[in-house]
Amino acid sequence: MPGKRVFCLMAMIAILVTYAIAPALAASLSLAAPASPGAIKTGSVTNVSYTLSNMINGNVEVIVNGAGGATVWSAYLPMQAAGIHNVTWNGAYANGTPVPDGFYAITLAASNGTLGSRGNGNYQFNGPFDVEVGVDGKIYVADHGNNRVQVYSDTGAYLLTVGSGPGSGDSQFDRPMSVAVDSAGSIYVADYMNNKVKIFDGAGTYLRSIGTGTLGTGDYEFRRPKGVTVDGSGNVYVVDGYNNRIQVFDSAGTYLRTIGASGFGPSGTTHFFVPKDCKVGADGTVYVADEGGMCVHVFSNTGAWIRTIGTPGTSGSGNYQFNCPCDVAVDGGGNIYVADPGNDKVKIYDNTGTYLRSIGTGIGGAGDDQFDDPMSVDLDSEGNIYVADRNNNRIRIFYQSATAVTGVLVDNTAPVVTCSPDSPASGWFVADVPVTLAAADNPGGSGMESLKYSLDNVHWNPYTGGFTLTTEGANMVYWNATDIPGNSALGSRSLNIDRIAPTTTATLSGNTQNGAYTSRVTITLSAVDATSGVEYTEYKVNNGSWARYSGLLTLDSTSTVNYRSSDFAGNLEAEKTISFTRIYLPPGTVSMDEMYGRPGATPSPSPTPTVTPAPTATVTATAAPTISQSPVANPTATPEETPQNSGYLLWLTFGLVAVIVLVAGGYVLFFRK
């Protein structure tokens, strides 16, 4: 509520707090912050269920305070009838922004109950002039414009109506101005125009009257009685308005004495100017609202003046000024409550007359913190304040009691999950992997609700302890950790296994003759690994040092090559070996492979023959050759296959380049330089 507002708390409010997630927590007016509050995350709600008892259409204010007492959210719930009610908070500021994580106190305060509206039915009034609360908590309203008194229970339930009118009969009223009730429940009504005080039993049956019913100044005579009250002994005080006095009668209606005299009079005297109403404290002290005198007078139980609050004859709006004070009440501590209709306030003073505070803004209106001509004030045994708000046709109730407090933990932070073991630097394990998961909520958080895991992100299992991965290749571990409010931590890790080393093959390439290589030999190493992949291949030649294979290895001598590969997981292949023999032909020799165009042969360029006339040719032989003639022109066997048919027994040395064949036939000629 904006502006000046009194946070008077309810007389009896039992708070039962439940949370959407946590178990129910019971609270009472004396409850401190619960030892184990519920927890929510922003967007979900905490539900506060509260029960109002002895409460009449009260306004409940809910205030949520965070660290340091700062208010983060509040709600104003008007016109709450007695019974069970609920209010929810979603863990956010009023603009919807999530509040920070932490504990938040939730305070409930009931205030400003309302009874009645304009009309002539039950629960309706037409200019209520006075309100009185009995010792049993019943509420009595002098319904001035409807010429009746209405009676309600302490919870605001309609009970009965006393009187009708206008009229002058025993059970009729003509502008009733005030009502009082004694300890036995008898009802006393100041019947303004009939110049009487009429008395009824608790059921509304007429009993008797005080006063003659005629205007007068004598004992038992009144000039417009405006107020009535009953003290603890049953004595009746009648405010005889236009006689400017108070007449006191015993419980049987016998005149006892008069308090006051006509006029303003100086301070310290007992002069009144059209007094409106009075109250008697438990000790017999008499408090008089002197409407025309613009002040409140206090007298002892013998009628001796004690003090005056306000300046007689002077109106104003200050703390010690009044504008036609019409009623006065006193609580058990002697604090004085004054209905100040001209200022639209109820002003409160201590028992020495020192100003304490006011109820109402001072600006007439129908708002929750406003009055429009508050004519009367009274208190019940709990100290709750009742005000007859005449022009708003309602009774306002301001409840006083301790504040009910509970709390809730806001937790918007997901838990943290660790997955062990850590992967090796290579990212691959070379054996089965024992997996352990651990989940923890954030410091000061709500605590863990569950931890689950999955190996396929489809089928989930509660995590109850470690498990082992055995499958070769990539393994995914998924987890879902949830705290009490429902914050989830979803994650995954790849835990890869590769136990198998790569496989390497070696191939040789070059010119060969009879299984031996007659040229440089190229060794090609090829490795495969189906899991983590080949990291490197290495080799060593003739038991030398290991060297990394880079895709080019050529040797030109008889060799033994050892080789192996390693994958990225670190699995190292067992050594393998390949060997070859390298032979060297004389320079210029054409191998059989070259001659017959066998695979792998590199043909040598054919020399261009030189033809020299026969007479000049000379052939010199270092040995006598034996030349065998082939039986066919094109041999069917290669020289490698039939070396015995190679066509020569020894090499011949020619001094000249010309060769003269003397015998016809088929020959195979080998030559070298």
pLDDT at residue 599, rounded to an integer = 53
Q: Give CA angle at 410 (404, 415), nearest 5°.
A: 150
46-113, CATH topology level:
Immunoglobulin-like (2.60.40)
One fold for 117-259 and 413-497: no
Distance CA 665, CA 659 (A): 15
Second CATH level (architecture) for the domain 503-580: Sandwich (2.60)
pTM of the model: 0.59
pLDDT at residue 635, rounded to an integer = 38
CA distances from 331 to 67, 142, 334, 585 (A): 37, 21, 5, 134
CA distances from 670 to 380, 586, 599, 624, 628 (A): 141, 12, 21, 17, 14
pLDDT (tens digit per residue) in 263-287: 655 555 678 999 999 999 999 999 9
User: Could you say which of 2.40.40.20, 2.120.10.30, 2.60.40.10, 1.10.1610.10 is the CATH number of the domain covering 117-259?
Assistant: 2.120.10.30
Residue 625: pLDDT band by 50, 70, 90 thresholds? very low
pLDDT (tens digit per residue) in 12-41: 233 333 333 222 222 222 232 333 347 888
Q: What is the mean pLDDT of residues 162-186?
A: 96
- Supply φ then ψ for residue 559, to 5 degrees: -145, 160
Output 438 or 82, whichever has higher pLDDT: 438
CA distances from 404 to 10, 401, 620 (A): 10, 9, 136
pLDDT at residue 401, rounded to an integer = 60
pLDDT (tens digit per residue) in 371-384: 999 999 999 988 88
pLDDT at residue 323, rounded to an integer = 96
**In the chain, where the domains are located:** 46-113, 117-259, 269-392, 413-497, 503-580
Second CATH level (architecture) for the domain 269-392: 6 Propeller (2.120)
Residue-wise DSSP of 92-130: B-TTSPBPPSEEEEEEEEEE-EEE-EESSSTTEESSEEE
User: Which of 574-581's residues contact partners 24+ apart within 8 Å by CB, and which partners?
Assistant: 574/501, 576/504, 576/506, 578/506, 578/508, 578/523, 580/508, 580/516, 580/517, 580/521, 581/515, 581/516, 581/517
Contact 373, 325 (CB under 8 A): no
Second CATH level (architecture) for the domain 413-497: Sandwich (2.60)
User: Which of 332-337's residues contact partners 24+ apart within 8 Å by CB, and which partners?
Assistant: 332/282, 332/383, 334/281, 334/285, 336/287, 336/296, 336/298, 336/309, 337/377, 337/379, 337/385
